[in-house]
C-alpha cells in the first residue's frame, strides 16, 4: 500500500472521475495515459463505477482507485474490481478497517484537527482534505499540517489551474485531486482529445510547480 501512496505522490495529481457509462472507461483511460497522467479516482456516484474500475485497472498501466466510497460493501466492490486505493469524502472506521482487510490504501477525508486525530488512531497518515476550497483552502491545509508532522494531505474540491500552485507548494501536500482535467460533459460526449489536452496541461502545470 505504501507503493500506491508513493506513486500518487510522484504524479501529484489525482483526476476525480464521474463516468455515466462504463463504455467510456477505455477512451478515458487512453486519454489520461496519453496526457501523461495514468491515474484515476473513479467515483461511486454512478452505477458505472465498478465496471469502469475493472476496465481501467485491467490495463495494468494505470493507478486506479475508487472515490466517494461510503460503506464497507463499496470497499469490497472496489477491491473486487481491482482498485488499489479507496477515497472517502469523510472518515469512516468501517471503510478504513475494510480497506485494511482487503489490502487497499484508504484515503479518508479529514478537514479538522479532531478528524486528523481520529484518522491517526486508525493508522491513517495521509488524508483527503475535502472539500478543500470551502474548508479554508490552502491556508487551512497549512495551519492544519503544522501540529501533525507526520501527516500528509490530498486537497480536493474547488481546485483548478488557477489555484493549483497554492496547494502544491505546501510541503505537507502529497497530491491534489480534482475533476477539472476530466469534465463529466467532455467524457459523456466522447471528447477524449479534449480530456487528453486538459490532462497534459494539468501535468505541465504540476511539473512546473514541482520546480518552484
Ligand atoms: C471530489 O469528489 O473529490 C470532488 O467532487 C472533486 O472536486 P472538484 O470537482 O471541485 O475538482
Q: Could you report the per-residue pLDDT of 1-58, keeping only the tens digit for each?
A: 779 999 999 999 999 999 999 999 999 999 999 999 999 999 999 999 999 999 999 9
**pLDDT for 42:** 98
Q: What is the mean pLDDT of the chain?
A: 97
**pLDDT for 129:** 98
* Number of domains composing the chain: 1
Q: Average of pLDDT values for 139-162?
A: 98
Q: CATH number of the domain that 124 lies in?
A: 3.20.20.70
Residue 212 has pLDDT above 60, yes or no: no
Residue at 8 is within a domain: yes
Q: Could you tell me the distance, in angstroms and rounded to a whole number, from the CA of residue 3 to the centre of ligand 1?
A: 24
Residue at 212 is within a domain: no
Q: Domain containing 127: what range?
A: 2-207
Ligand 1 pocket (Cβ < 6 Å) reads 16, 43, 67-68, 130, 156-159, 177-180
Cell of 101: 482487510
Q: What is the CA radius of gyration of the chain?
A: 16
- What would the pLDDT profile of 102-131 be if each residue is shown by its tens digit? 999 999 999 999 999 999 999 999 999 999
Catalogue the long-range contacts made by 103-108 (C-beta closer than 8 Å, 24 or more residues apart).
103/1, 103/79, 104/1, 104/4, 104/75, 104/78, 104/79, 105/1, 105/4, 105/5, 105/65, 107/65, 107/154
Is 41 assigned a catalytic role?
Answer: yes
CA distance 167 to 156: 10
Q: What is the pTM of this model?
A: 0.96
Is 142 assigned a catalytic role?
Answer: no
Cell of 87: 477515497
φ, ψ of residue 57 in degrees (nearest 5)? -70, -30
Among 40, 46, 86, 178, name the best residue to mutate to test ligand 1's pocket (greatest count of ligand atoms within 8 A of Cβ): 178
Residue at 162 is within a domain: yes
Q: Which of 164, 93, 169, 177 has the alpha carbon at shortest distance from 131?
A: 177
**pLDDT for 211:** 60
Using CA positions, which residue lies closest to atom 8 of ligand 1? 157
Residue at 9 is within a domain: yes
Amino acid at each position: 500500500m505504501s507503493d500506491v501512496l508513493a506513486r500518487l505522490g510522484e504524479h501529484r495529481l489525482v483526476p476525480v472521475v464521474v463516468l455515466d457509462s462504463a463504455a467510456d472507461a477505455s477512451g478515458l483511460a487512453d486519454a489520461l495515459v496519453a496526457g501523461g497522467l495514468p491515474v484515476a479516482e473513479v467515483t461511486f456516484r454512478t452505477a458505472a463505477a465498478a465496471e469502469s474500475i475493472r476496465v481501467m485497472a485491467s490495463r495494468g498501466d494505470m493507478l486506479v482507485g475508487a472515490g466517494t466510497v461510503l460503506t464497507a460493501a463499496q470497499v469490497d466492490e472496489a477491491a473486487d474490481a481491482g482498485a488499489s486505493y479507496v477515497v472517502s469524502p469523510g472518515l469512516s472506521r468501517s471503510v478504513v478497517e475494510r480497506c485494511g482487510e482487503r489490502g487497499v490504501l484508504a484515503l479518508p477525508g479529514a478537514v479538522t484537527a479532531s478528524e486528523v486525530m481520529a484518522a491517526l488512531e486508525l493508522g491513517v497518515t495521509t488524508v483527503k482534505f475535502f472539500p478543500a476550497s470551502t474548508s479554508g483552502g490552502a491556508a487551512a491545509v497549512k495551519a492544519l499540517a503544522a501540529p501533525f508532522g507526520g501527516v500528509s494531505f490530498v486537497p480536493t474540491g474547488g481546485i483548478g489551474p488557477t489555484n493549483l500552485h497554492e496547494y502544491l507548494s505546501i510541503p505537507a501536500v502529497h497530491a491534489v485531486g480534482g475533476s477539472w482535467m476530466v469534465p463529466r460533459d467532455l467524457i459523456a460526449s466522447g471528447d477524449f482529445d479534449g480530456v487528453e489536452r486538459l490532462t497534459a496541461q494539468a501535468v505541465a502545470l504540476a511539473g512546473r510547480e514541482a520546480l518552484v
